[in-house]
Amino acid sequence: MKMKNKKSFTYVAQAGVIAALYVALTYVSAALNLAYGPVQVRLSEMLTILPVFTPAAVPGLLIGCILGNLQSPLGVVDILCGSLATFIAALLSRSFRQYRIKGLPILSATPPVIINAFIIGLELYILLPAYAGISGFVYGVISVGIGQVISCYIFGLLLFAAIERSGVKKALHFES
């Protein structure tokens, strides 16, 4: 197999596995009543750290989020807005991959927190009467942000450390 074809295959395979993991973890989170709504501690959001390791994570997260949001009670709006937020955050996370604080890509974990807090907070404000008024918008941003902090900073950085220390990075042919 030519080197270019091998790299293309690896890229597509990584994106597909990341998408599948995102969907599966979103559905597990949904079963635990954590995937949709104001406080979203989606287990799948820990995968938003993966753009640090591979560019294939960007389309993988996008596709995974689209498929994961198919069962969202907010319907097509959440499929579009949530996926757009994930895509923008993944691109930014990838662009910050070389910056580390005490060896951790804290800056790369930040875009999913901020972007999802504001976009999903705005989505809740617009679509749900319980979030009416400026206080409803602020509540939405804060509650989504808290869930994202747990998913991205705690679980995501633990995942990063596990990948770095276990040798999985090399085995999966991740290229930072």
| pLDDT tens digits along 62-99 | 999 999 999 999 999 999 999 999 999 999 999 999 99
**What residues contact 61, with CB distance under 8 A and at least 6 apart?**
18, 19, 22, 47, 48, 50, 51, 86, 87, 90
- Asked if residues 137 and 131 have their Cβ atoms less than 8 Å apart, the reply is yes
Q: What is the pLDDT of residue 40?
A: 85
**What residues contact 13, with CB distance under 8 A and at least 6 apart?**
none
Question: Does residue 12 surpass a pLDDT of 90?
Answer: yes
Provide the whole-model pTM. Answer: 0.92
